[in-house]
Structure 1
Amino acid sequence: MNISIIIPVYNEAQGIEAFIRELLATAVQIQTRWSAKIEFVFIDDGSRDGSADVIRKLDFGPFSSRLFVMSRNFGKEAALTAAMHKVENCDAAIMIDADLEHPPELMEKLIETWQTSDADSVYYYKSDRRSREGLVKSSVSKMFYRLMNFGTNVEIIPDAGDYRLINAKFLDALKNLAENQRFMKGLYSWVGFEQVGLPFAPGERTAGTSNFSAIKLILLALDGLTSFTTAPLRLMMLGGLAISAISILYGLYIVVEALFFPGVPPGIASILTLISLFGGLQLLCLGILGEYVGRALHEAKGRPAYIIREEIEIVTRKPSRSTRSRAKAKPKSTK
């Protein structure tokens, strides 16, 4: 059994060594239990703190390891896509983050579930977001998934992350998708197949802070919405119908008032309020339309989702106390 472990990395130099220690310990257990041949595929997404230099100097013992360094920061979705394209001849691939929020020891449960079921993909989902992230963030997340699944025939699984195992068929299906503006959580659901979810509580980061700020999370949510659902456009249409109906009723009210209550002075305040309301709604609708048009423009340009600056094969000797890794750099640009 061949297993490729995909690890996207972005500014994780402070904690990557602790992560790799736990990763190696788990890999030894997997190798022993299932006689698996394991390779590590690291994809450095334009880190600025020397993460790639730390990785290439480490010793991975008996496990083959490859490091791909991207030409700049393209984002996690592009990094995962790049790693998937580089993985070949494996029975399964496991995606895991390098910050220890995805505990490496849980990979054994992924493989065990995959081996004992008919699942093509086994994924972890957050079991209790409210206790970890608070009421506001968890509620916003729940609203986001409801909007994503509104009026679509593909259900995107709430709270399912990138910590998952996919078999060769699932991996090939993802590779064959031509779009370059990717929202991986949606693509996992879109390709279908048999998928099994397992609950887990994310661990604590070993060092540093999350690279996903509130702004980046909002932008990621917009990417997801414009990639997988036309719900915002449908809501715009329904909102327009509702406002038109209210306007007609309000117009009838004004006619009745003018005919039967001529002494009532005109309401300038209500007129200004309505103008402001409709002006804001028009700008909002134009912004939503702009997001869809912009996404279509990016896809039409046909630019690659990523560019790899350097490929490094980390060559290791057989395990011994004096074994140290040697990095052979093979510069290569990929479009």
Structure 2
Amino acid sequence: MFNTFLSLINVVNSPDESALLPAYLEGVYPVLKEHFTDYEIILVNNLPGRQLNKDLENLPPAIKQHLFILNLSSKTNKNHAFVAGLDRANGDYTIIFEFDFYQQPGLILDLFRKTQEHYDIVYLQAGRRVTRPQFRWLYGIFYSILRRYSNLRIDDKAHNTRIISRRALNSLLRLRENLRYMKAIYSIVGYNTTSIPTDQPIQDEDTGFRERFGASLVAISSFTTFLSSVLLWIFIISLLFLIVVIINALKVKFAGFDLLGNPQEAVTGWTFLVVLMSIFFAITCLNLYIMSIYLANIYHEIKKRPLYIIESVQRL
């Protein structure tokens, strides 16, 4: 038995998950009781208006005395619901354990044992993602942008199920962002992180294209420089376009030929108008890029992310 206080968290996000609660709790309880000196189970009820008491009334009293239910007053996204549970967790280690693994409660012990190898965050890694074909390209573009335009180390096959040490959780809770993408926040926090492979694939969430696309834009705008980079390239392309248009207009005016060698007849005022429009187009793109820099700086200041996170202090 480990002399450790463990907090176990899960979010009840649908009526089907609520119906699974008795089997879920009766599965994880023997592992917690046998291997940890103290433990608590925190369920976040993300089903406003639905009480979980009826689903849990036949549970043994031994389980109920370690159980805490957080009833949210209004439905929120799953990441925010997880934060509600993490705020309440008091354990030396906190584990988010999803319903996908309720028939494999031994994974709790596997995750904890991995932390004894000096890891602060250990997550379950899927071999594949099960999603509808029309969404595969969206996931591919999303994760390629995250890798290229940020310093975040994000595993696109990572399950939400993971164990977090107390010191890593304290640092994570300092990041009080309203627009949360938990995989990115885990990466910002840092600490020694590893994974345990599992055969359980990541199941596609029951959300439409609009919700997924909106969540992707939130994550990209919050954690990458992609949009600023796009505006920079628009400015560079507009500047090159300006140069080409000016050269073409001057060549038509003075030589009677365009850049492709086609004969053209110069119209009075045409050269001046084309050059003037191209200059203003380039200036507009430059202003947009400059404004994006200012907005990004303001955005990052408002978030108040910690400037640094100290993992440990050593004395020699």
- 1:264 is matched with 264
Q: Note the C-alpha offset of 1:166.
A: 0.6
> Is it true that 1:213 corresponds to 2:208 in the alignment?
yes
- What secondary structure does 2:15 align onto? coil
Give matches, 1:127-146, under 5 Å: 127-129=127-129, 132-133=130-131, 137-146=135-144
Distance of aligned partners of 1:249 and 1:174 in 2 relative to their CA distance in 1, 3 Å threshold? same
User: CA–CA distance in 2 between the matches of 1:124 and 1:258?
Assistant: 67
- TM-score with structure 2 length normalisation? 0.72
Summarize deviations over 1:102-153 as a string: whole Å, max 9, x none. Answer: 76533332123223x1110101233222xx2256534432321221233433
Alpha-carbon shift at residue 62 of structure 1 (Å): 2.1
**Equivalences for 1:191-270 in 2 at 5 Å?**
191-202=189-200, 210-261=205-256, 263-264=263-264
CA-atom RMSD in angstroms: 3.7
Q: Does 1:153 align with 2:130?
A: no
Distance 1:53 1:246, change over 3 A: farther
Alpha-carbon contact 1:4-1:94 (below 8 Å) kept: yes
Shift of 1:164: 0.6
Structure 1: gaps spanning 5 or more residues: 301-335
**Residue 66 of structure 1, aligned match among 65, 68, 88:** 68
Deviations 1:259-292, CA, capped at 9 Å, x for gaps: 33365379xxxx9xx99xx8xx98xx79x96xx6
Counterpart residue type for residue 234 of structure 1: S
Aligned to 1:119: 119
* Counterpart-to-counterpart distance in 2, 1:104 and 1:188: 24
Q: Which amino acid aligns with 1:57?
A: E
RCO greater where, 1 or 2, for CA within 8 Å and sep 6 or more?
A: 1
Residue equivalent to 2:8 = 5
After TM superposition, the structure 1 = structure 2 runs for residues 285-296 of structure 1, keeping only pairs within 5 Å, are 296=299
Distance in 2 between residues matched to 1:159 and 1:151, nearest whole Å: 19
How many Å separate the matches in 2 of 1:36 and 1:104? 21
Alpha-carbon distance change, 244 to 94 in structure 1, aligned in 2, over 3 angstroms: same
Q: Unaligned 5+ residue runs, structure 2?
A: 258-262, 267-273, 304-316
Aligned length: 277
Q: Which has the larger radius of gyration?
A: 2
User: SS of 1:181's equivalent?
Assistant: coil
Aligned to 2:111: 110
With over 3 angstroms needed to count, the CA separation of the structure-2 counterparts of 1:20 and 1:138, relative to structure 1, is farther
Deviations 1:5-56 (A, max 9, x none): 111122x223423354144223313432x244332101122x2572635455
TM-superposition CA deviations, 1:141-177 (whole Å, max 9, x none): 2321221233433323333232111111111111222
Aligned to 1:166: 164
Q: Which of 19, 22, 26 does residue 28 from structure 2 map onto?
A: 26
Scaled by the length of structure 1, the TM-score of the pair is 0.69
Partner of 1:312 in structure 2?
none
Identity among equivalent positions (%) equals 17
